[in-house]
Amino acid sequence: MSYQDKYELLEEKEIKEINSHARLYIHKKTNARILSLQNNDENKVFSINFRTPPKDNTGVAHILEHSVLCGSKKYNVKEPFVELLKSSLQTFLNAITFPDKTCYPVASQNLQDFYNLMDVYLDSVFYPKLARQTFEQEGWHYEVSDPKAPLKYKGVVFNEMKGSYSSPESLLYDYSQMSIFPDSTYGFDAGGDPKVIPDLTYENFTDFHKKYYHPSNAFIFFYGDNDEYERLEKLSHYLDQFDLQKIDSDIKIQTKLKMNQRVIKSYSASNESNPKSFLTVNWLLPDTFDAELNLNLRILDYILTGMPGSPLRKALIDSGLGEDLAGVGLESDIRQMYYSTGMRGIDSKDLSKVERLIKTTLKKLVEDGIDKEIIKAAINSLEFALRENNTGSFPRGMAVMFRALTTWLYDDSPFTLMEFSDVLENIKTRLDSGERIFEDLINKFLIENEHRSVVILEPDQGLEAMIQEEETQQLQEARLRMTDEEIHKIIQKNAELKQFQEASDDPQELARIPRLQRSDMEEKVKTVPREVTELKGVETLIHPLPTNGIYYFDLGFDLHFLPQKYLPYIPLFGRALVEMGTKDKDFVNMTTLIRQKTGGLSPVVFSNSIKGQKSGACRLFLRAKALPDNVPDLFQIIREIIKEVDLGNRDRFKQILLEEKSAMEQSLVPAGHRFVGLRLKSRYSEADWAQEHMSGLSYLLFLRHLIKMMDKDWDKIKRDLNEIGFLLFHKDAMLVNITAEDDLLKKYQIEAENFLDSIDKHEISTSTWVSCCEAGNEGIFIPAQVNYVGKTVSLANTKYNFHGSSLVASRFLRASWLWDQIRVQGGAYGAFGSYDYLSNIMTFASYRDPNIIETLNAFAGCGSFLIRKDLNEDEVEKAVIGAIGEMDSYQLPDAKGFSSAVRYLTNIDDDHRQKVRNEILSTSLDHFQEFGRTLETAFKEDPGMICVIGGHDQVEKASETITLDNKFRII
């Protein structure tokens, strides 16, 4: 039977917006829905998606998402997912739980690898083992090893969500959505509430899979340059094994109500800071199916708050009532959209003022009308983003899939939001005719909309202790209900779980997981065309690449022309350049012009070690992009910014400063591992030291100091900013990096030269920096229920000579020893280990971790693990393939051009890259053991550095075992 007999073609069309030929199918036997997009993108995407509406807060959908990839009928090993991480060329490999769906996407540039990933995922979702031990490991279980010891909760998702519930931003998002959907599945937390997760039983967990993980409830997506016949044939091998099943997974509509509820919640705050409140106002909107309304609301989102000069954003920020905006803006990825806006960093006495300001600003926009230039800027911003479809390292196909699911998941056409060109033109025509589209939308959906809520999140300095006390009491009550026999059963189950986790997989079963061989790897390194030249006295890199008609222009300023005292200013200075306005244009007019004429002008701070040098490559880049007709405008805008930026607007600079501080504070819990790693690495290299002062904890402390200075010595701050501009805005400090198609490069060369000709040439020398980080181990307190544990060790004294195999070995550690010890057995959400051969430092970190001492012990055991006798060449082979996949990560044209510039600045030429690749491909077990012995020696000779960010009690308890030379509270 051919695939035409198994599938019914429902619709076929060309979608010019994404350069794809689309076919929509249904599998006749099961009614599985399939969307197949064919195009020239080599980064192929497959995903199987299920509607999984939660009915409570136990997190069953989330725990199941973790668990189905832990062994299946065909791939009977503990974690096929991890084996794929080790041995695949994947460009994306993960699973994602949303409020109403669970997605299992994979992507790869290699065809055989792509089908290998697809096969493992299909077998995993349809035939998972779902062992009780997997549920206990990934979800939750009681942990106890002695009949007299107290019970504890343990589980990966349990600790992941403890981390999520420690973040005020995450809580605000959840509470805002729940408040507006009181009668809908969106009123529950699909991720799981840590207080409720222990209510989930193993039986309910497996029942959820039986109910929803069936082809009749599946939405299957293909994208890329592979053959459609082969896609469908391979898919049918699984779908044909099932029969049609009636599944009630419909997402029910939230009935529009006359409601104006006020929800007041709390978040954990420290005793030593001055914590403030959050507020959002939230409105229920229509469903996602009307393409023009959907696009109009997305434009309105840009108009109101999406740009620095947006009127609602400006009114809120100018008010000084809070530090930054809060709320997600327009949420359009679920069945019914909603709009959420507000502020964070509000004094409690000003909460009602913020709410009133939002109302009055919206009414004023309706009465007075919206500035037409703001509307043009918003439309251009959204249209540029849609047409460029620049998803960074994220596969383009996945972005297209999520756009399709926004309507397809609810039984509407998947093409509704893909085909935006005609809809956008109609909107422009309506505007040209004088129609007040966006004023009418504000009036109808915000001002007159009675289905709304106000969510207030207040600081509670005793909440962290109360949460811990409630958990302890919950565990004590559970213990009291248990008989001695039941306690012994739990101890036995814990022992069985530990045995399950520590057991090795059957080598024959491991061999069944499909993978490429070392011989399948490309021997030659991927290169990017680059011309190194000089234009008008400025060092210039040119990359002729196919960019779909977009001109990418990067302008990098060498920070070594600055004294080191100015480094913490750089992120603020970069934002000031594009958000403070100029002599002739205030910041609203300038930021609006940038949005109208370009695809974006963004400051990016870059700092990296240079091969063979002690100093680092440290730059502030202005990264810009434009369509061909607007390239002259782009150069004029950058010229005006450099020549005439207004750095004297005190109020505007303070707004930027408060936004930066607030954003840094809010990122501490979601990205604690990053702060830990950067804090540790800053002790060893100039580049990391500089980066820590521009984006780490030192930067946050500087921001707080600068806020106090604003009222005392603004004149000094202003002088500092102008001095930075003088020291950077000259030809010797500049590097130009251009990525575009040949015809665009030629067409605008004169424009580029004229721009550079207008730049001054100063006689300024570079500065010498002296790194002055505090040494010693650190414990940093934050109000969180989890920890982020970091450790560095220097390989300098081991006399280890860098070999590419070390990159294979350190990557293997992440996916094996660290994964098993810290995530699987320790219950943390993640763990990392990376070797930076430029600074000769090995850095370890854990993420959302319930432990500290156990994690540090796991870090210390990495060396002995690599020299264990039970490791074999097959494990090395898999790790080599994974390392090559990481080396060959997929990049869009602008990223290729920028990566080439980074390699130029850090002295990494293609000969060196080829040498490293050759060494990776030749890696053997001997190399693993050599690197393992090196790590063991390093740990013995140099105690290294430890940094822990976590809750006060946990960090203090750990300090009884490890020496923490420096302890302080950061928030």
> What span, in angstroms and rounded, lies between the C-alpha atoms of 812 and 871?
11
How does the average pLDDT of the chain come out, rounded?
95
Q: What gap in Å lies between CA 847 and CA 670, rounded to an integer? A: 9
- DSSP state, 582? B
As given in the structure block, the two tokens for residue 51 are 């509607």
Task: Collapse the DSSP code of 106 into the 3-class scheme (helix H, G, I; strand E, B; otherwise coil) and give the result.
Answer: strand
**CA 687/CA 696 separation, integer angstroms:** 13
Catalytic residue among 17, 136, 138, 464: 138
Q: Given this model, what pLDDT does residue 145 score?
A: 85
Is 392 or 895 the better-scoring residue by pLDDT? 895
Which residues, 6+ apart, have CB-to-CB distance to 483 below 8 Å? none
Token output for 783:
């109000």
Could you identify the residue written with the tokens 């959050």? 278
Distance CA 231, CA 115 (A): 8
pLDDT of 944 reads: 87
Among the listed residues 65, 659, 665, 778, the single catalytic one is 65
What residue spans of 131-273 are helical by DSSP H?
132-138, 156-164, 168-180, 202-212, 228-239
Question: DSSP label at 411?
Answer: T
pLDDT of residue 354: 98
pLDDT at position 942: 81
pLDDT value at 971 more than 80: no
Beta strands in 52-188 (DSSP E): 92-93, 96-97, 101-108, 141-143, 152-154
Asked if residue 790 lies in contact with residue 680, where contact means CB atoms within 8 angstroms, the answer is: yes
C-alpha angle 857/809/807, rounded to 5°? 120
Question: Residues 91, 43: contact at Cβ < 8 Å?
Answer: yes
Cβ partners under 8 Å of residue 156, min gap 6: 66, 137, 138, 139, 823, 824, 827, 828, 829
What is the predicted pLDDT for the residue at 272?
A: 61
Burial-class residue 546 by CB neighbours within 10 Å (0-12, 13-18, 19+).
Answer: exposed
Instruction: Kindly tell me if the per-residue pLDDT of 774 is higher than 70.
Output: no
- Give the span between the Cα atoms of 117 and 395, in whole angstroms: 15
Residue pair 758/639 in contact (Cβ under 8 Å)? The answer is: yes
> E-assigned strands of 127-217?
141-143, 152-154
**How much of the chain exceeds pLDDT 70, in percent?**
99
- Which residues, 6 or more positions from 506, have their beta carbon under 8 angstroms from its beta carbon? 76, 77
pLDDT for 480-512, tens place per residue? 999 999 999 999 999 999 999 999 999 999 999
| Amino acid 5: pLDDT | 87
Beta strands in 477-597 (DSSP E): 531-535, 538-544, 551-558
Alpha helices in 605-685 (DSSP H): 631-644, 650-667, 672-681
d(CA 971, CA 969): 6
The per-residue pLDDT for range 312-368, each reduced to its tens digit, is 999 999 999 999 999 999 999 999 999 999 999 999 999 999 999 999 999 999 999
- Coil vs helix vs strand at 581: coil
Q: Rg of the chain's alpha carbons, rounded to an integer?
A: 28
Q: Residue 773: what pLDDT?
A: 62
Query: What are the CA-CA distances from residue 500 to residues 207, 487, 600 (Å)?
Result: 23, 20, 52
The residue to which tokens 């000089």 are assigned: 534
Active-site residue flag, 138: yes
* pTM of the predicted model as reported, rounded to 2 decimal places: 0.95
- CA dist 917 to 83, 530, 619, 911, 912, Å? 22, 20, 28, 10, 9
Give the pLDDT band (50/70/90) at residue 771.
confident
Going by C-alpha positions, the residue among 15, 8, 5, 3 that lies closest to residue 414 is 15
Per-residue tokens: 759: 């730049």
Backbone angles phi, psi at 321, to 5 degrees: -80, -15
What is the rounded distance in angstroms from the CA atom of residue 546 to the CA atom of residue 156? 43
With a cut of 90, say whether residue 869 has pLDDT above it: no
Give yes or no for residue 625 having a pLDDT over 70: yes
Pure H helices in 267-395? 291-301, 311-319, 351-368, 372-388
Q: How confident is the model at residue 870 (pLDDT cuts 50, 70, 90)?
A: confident
pLDDT tens by residue, 804-858: 999 999 999 999 999 999 999 999 999 999 999 999 999 999 999 999 999 999 9
Place of tokens 């490429």: 516
Q: What is the pLDDT of residues 55-91, one digit of tens each?
A: 999 999 999 999 999 999 999 999 999 999 999 999 9
Distance of alpha carbon 641 from alpha carbon 577, whole angstroms = 6
Q: Is 425 a catalytic residue?
A: no
Rounded Cα–Cα distance for residues 211 and 734 (Å): 60
Q: What is the pLDDT of residues 657-680, one digit of tens each?
A: 999 999 999 999 999 999 999 999
For the chain, give percent helix, strand, coil, nearest 5: 50, 20, 30
Taking a C-beta distance cutoff of 8 angstroms, is the pair 79, 70 a contact? Answer: yes
d(CA 792, CA 679) in angstroms, rounded, equals 10
Compute the residue count for the chain. Answer: 971
